[in-house]
Amino acid sequence: MTTARDLHRTAVYQAEDQWSAILDRGGSVDFFGSTIQAPVQLRFGSLEDARIYTAKIVADLGLPEVHVRHRKGGTRAHYSDGVIAIPSNQPWAMRESVVLHEIAHHVCITQHESAMHDAHFTASLLLLVEYRLGSEAALLLRTGYQASGVPIVVSA
């Protein structure tokens, strides 16, 4: 049995890293000649704060419960089988963008049975971003995805 390759993973991470850096500072952003206001993303002070945030989003969306735990090693966060693992001792991991990324995996597994960074994933994350951070933040992320060649679902 062959496992499908996650072809867009690196491009998704690159687009999200740039987007997250904008959200770290927030404020006015020159967007192709127009000025938009980027929000400042939350930084969680504790794993419990991330748990409360995640539980509210999952409940609001009517999704199955997801557990949030500490992950040993500080190189990445991870989602698997209803569990988000975050290296909570790493400042980069305790950001809203990271938690939303992992919640998007929960949405995709629940609704599409997909763990890939594909069009289902990007659509899910864009909806979460619009819901939590607003249309400006979603526009910035969508544009980053498009510039990186990441597949996205464009609403009609």
Distance (Å, whole) CA 43 – CA 4: 34
Q: How many CA atoms lie within 13 A of 146 on its CB side?
A: 9
Strand partners, 69: 85
Mean pLDDT, the chain cut into blocks of 10 residues (156 residues total): 71 95 96 94 98 97 96 89 95 96 95 88 96 97 94 65
Show the CA angle centred on residue 12, arms to residues 70 and 69, nearest 5°. 10
Cβ 83 vs Cβ 54: under 8 Å: no
